[in-house]
Structure 1
Amino acid sequence: MYDFDPKTYRPISPDVPVEEIAKAFQRPRQQTEGVGLRAVNRSEFTLIAPVIQPTGPAVFRERAEKACIEAPYWENRLGTVHDLRVALVNDGQQVLFCATYSDEFKPYVLDVIRFATPWIDHMFTDVALGYPGLQSEDAIPYIAKYQVQASVWYGGPNPEASPRDIGKAVAVAKAFDDLLDAAQS
């Protein structure tokens, strides 16, 4: 998808060695069954939907704090989300939903429907114009209508690791540090 040949590529800045660019390049590609870019085991999801006027922006702002407080709970149920952003954009005319997740598009969307419907519906019902609710048979067509593909996207460091892999690695590192601390005492 992106043409990168280290032999002929010229970096934006002449101070950056092309070898450094080549070490970090992740070669994004199209999702297998959906819109969005994918690099190694990470994918991007971007949705921009129209907001109900004039009431939608106020409803979104009223619900945003609770949605933010509960985000870790709902995202941990999924176990594949690296990061998520939801915001009103264009003076409240649209709502932007962006996520980076592990796995392919279709399993991700099905997991969001299975594990996070109440949370997503809390953010989008009475906010996004025509939003049918995730349990509706119209949910997937609604997503397809408003989903866009990023033009520039970076999957982050260690793109092969899922959030669960990262969580396990952090737990092992903490246990090892605790063991070292105990041995030094």
Structure 2
Amino acid sequence: MTAKLIENERTAMSQHISRQPDGPGKRIGKKGEISGIGKVAPGGAQLFRERLPQIQAEAGYWETRIGTVHDFRVTLIDNDTRILFTIVFDGDFKPYIADILREASPWLDQIFLGVWDGFKGTQDRKSVEELLGFAFECDFFFVSNPDVTARDVAKMRRLSGAVSELLDAAT
């Protein structure tokens, strides 16, 4: 049974949602989403929490190397028995996965190795494929500014800073 959409002033701003052309996840404009849930390895919750300060401190470095990530979250759920990740990124699924494996493998291993049950590290292609096999498309997905990429945001921040500096110098 398909629910009937009631057209009104609130639906006038509805976003066009499609699916990733090359993998799981929804797509709105230039932004895609993916989430996954896996089992936590024995001792994995404690290991994750021990690593967490370093993981968090290095996030800006690794995500800047990738350059296409808007949001990335990882959390332990269900009384530390499962691990959830969710990501909003620019572009298609397969190029994004290639980017994170090329640019951030050490960081991904720090996050998931020994924590996600069965994950043997980013150098083990089969293990990566198994991890991605737990990925799924969310039922609901919304993004602000669907056609603004992470690189566009970085460029706008630099431009804004330069204009502010110019205006400060002029006063």
Band the TM-score falls in, shorter-chain normalisation: over 0.9
Structure 1 position 22 matched with structure 2 position 9: no
Aligned to 2:92: 104
| CA–CA separation in structure 2 for the residues paired with 1:71 and 1:21 | 36
Aligned to 1:45: 34
Give structure 1 regions of 4+ aligned residues with deviation exceeding 4 angstroms. none
**Alignment size in residue pairs:** 170
| CA–CA separation in structure 1 for the residues paired with 2:120 and 2:35 | 18
Gaps of 5+ in 1: 12-17
Structure 1 position 58 matched with structure 2 position 54: no
Could you tell me how far 1:20 is from its partner in structure 2?
Answer: 4.0
| CA–CA separation in structure 1 for the residues paired with 2:100 and 2:12 | 34
Aligned to 1:141: 129
| CA–CA separation in structure 1 for the residues paired with 2:99 and 2:33 | 15
User: Which secondary structure does the structure 1 equivalent of 2:140 belong to?
Assistant: coil
- TM-score, structure 2 as length reference: 0.92
| CA–CA separation in structure 1 for the residues paired with 2:40 and 2:128 | 18
Amino acid at match of 2:12: A
Larger radius of gyration: 1
- TM-score, structure 1 as length reference: 0.86
User: Which secondary structure does the structure 2 equivalent of 1:73 belong to?
Assistant: helix
Identity of aligned residues (%): 34
Describe how 1:1-185 pairs up with structure 2 within 5 A: 9-10=5-6, 18-23=8-13, 25-53=14-42, 55-155=43-143, 157-183=144-170, 185=171
| CA–CA separation in structure 1 for the residues paired with 2:152 and 2:38 | 32
| CA–CA separation in structure 1 for the residues paired with 2:158 and 2:129 | 40
